Amino acid sequence: MSWIRASTLNWIQFLCVKIIKSGRVPKHIAFIMDGNRRYAQKNNVRKFEGHSQGFDKLAETLQWCLDLGIPEVTVYAFSIENFKRSQEEVDALMELSQQKFERLLSEKDKLMEHGVCIRVIGNLSLLPQNIRKLIAQAMILTKDNKKTFLNVAFAYTAREEMAQAVRTAVSGVERDALQLSDVTQQLLSNCLYTSTSPDPELLIRTSGEVRLSDYLLWQVSCSCIYFADVLWPEFSIWHLLAAIIKYQRSYAQLVPVQQADEMANGCLNERISLFHTCLAASRLASLEELNHAVA
């Protein structure tokens, strides 16, 4: 199934979307797409089919977000912990991922037309070379697009992300690019994989589980969190609208918390700003190197 598809809303759903859009709608939503394996078991199909159905639901959900005017979405596609699953399942997930990234690149005209920027966050060194190359191609192709943003957390955990942010900051101090006093909450935030994105305003997890599973732990400290008691392939527009209604009802309480967090971060000094610029350039250079590598 295509990553970019036409809207599937019927007139009742479209009317409800219009009503919801009359209120505050989050600019960035994060998803924990949980329940693909249980969906497969429930429907007596292979795990691979459950994961494939999960991707189809992602494509549909991305279109709903566009219908709602939500410009940025971050999804938890593959945790580092998932490598501990059976080799058969990991291989199947890698094969599915390769197919979907190849499909994504085949739709490059649509991506550019809609201004979609693809970012993959995580420890890419843990992935097979062929998938890393596809990821690099997708990110480089769409890096200048500014209308909508899709962040895919792949080979990701929040604790690994924070550990690499600390290593990056330490390296800056060791090279005299930073001073020890520069190592602040704001600096570490700028060293995260998500440094180019605003924090999610709403996090949605499916499957009925009420935990964050090592996902965006730093970024969702001031976010509204919604747990949907439905398996991810069964997620519907109604579940998404219910989550946004909860966000709208919680918004008045979220604002002062978010403002206090912004004030605590403070402003970047010139040295930190230069370090951040160099870090972004280094990450782009790494993507270019992957893009030209032989898969």
Angstrom distance (rounded) from CA 275 to CA 179: 11
Q: Where are the beta strands (DSSP E) in the chain?
A: 28-32, 72-79, 116-121, 148-156, 202-205, 224-227
Taking only the tens place, the pLDDT of each residue in 81-112 is 999 999 999 999 999 999 999 999 999 998 99
Angstrom distance (rounded) from CA 72 to CA 219: 14
Taking only the tens place, the pLDDT of each residue in 27-82 is 999 999 999 999 999 999 999 999 999 999 999 999 999 999 999 999 999 999 99
User: What are the residue boundaries of the structural domains of the chain, listed by start?
Assistant: 25-158+198-254
Residue 295: pLDDT over 70: no
DSSP 3-state of 268: coil
DSSP 3-state of 144: coil
Please, what CATH class does the domain formed by 25-158+198-254 belong to?
Answer: alpha beta
pLDDT of residue 218: 97
Cβ atoms within 10 Å, residue 258: 15
Question: Do 186 and 264 meet the contact criterion of CB atoms below 8 Å apart?
Answer: no
Angstrom distance (rounded) from CA 57 to CA 208: 17
pLDDT of residue 12: 96
CA distances for 164 relative to 30, 84, 247, angstroms: 21, 21, 31
* Residue 271, C-beta contacts closer than 8 angstroms, at least 6 positions apart: 177, 178, 179, 182
Cβ atoms within 10 Å, residue 225: 18
Q: Running DSSP on this structure, what letter comes out for residue 44?
A: T
pLDDT band, residue 256 (cuts 50/70/90):
confident
Taking only the tens place, the pLDDT of each residue in 215-250 is 999 999 999 999 999 999 999 999 999 999 999 999
With a threshold of 0.85, does the pTM exceed it?
Answer: yes
Angstrom distance (rounded) from CA 51 to CA 36: 5
